[in-house]
Structure 1
């Protein structure tokens, strides 16, 4: 009697979190140059506090209080 291959099916877990449609992002996005407007630094006021957003020489963004 010849051996027959056995196929094992494994159920993939169902996603319960909503998946955004392709091309849509769950959070709005803004380009850093729109905030900095040609400068290396901008002050941001939030909740009565002032924060400083800096664009470094290494092309990084640093937000400090």
Structure 2
């Protein structure tokens, strides 16, 4: 394994995921599977990690209220 990036399916403390900005040991089972597939296929797609919505900036919502 390359130092500092996780590419296999075993969570390792203090290692950053190769697919997203989160620590590898913070991934749940869905995040591990999703990020592993993202790296294996060389895809560029959004993050599904639990709690990632709070850490990522969100675009302003559009409402119909004046």
Structure of larger gyration radius: 1
Indicate the TM-score class for this superposition, using the shorter chain for normalisation. under 0.3
Q: 1 or 2, which has the higher strand percentage?
A: 1
Higher normalized contact order (CA 8 Å, seq sep 6+, divided by chain length): 2
TM, length-normalised to structure 2: 0.18
Q: TM-score, normalised by structure 1?
A: 0.18
More helix by share: 2
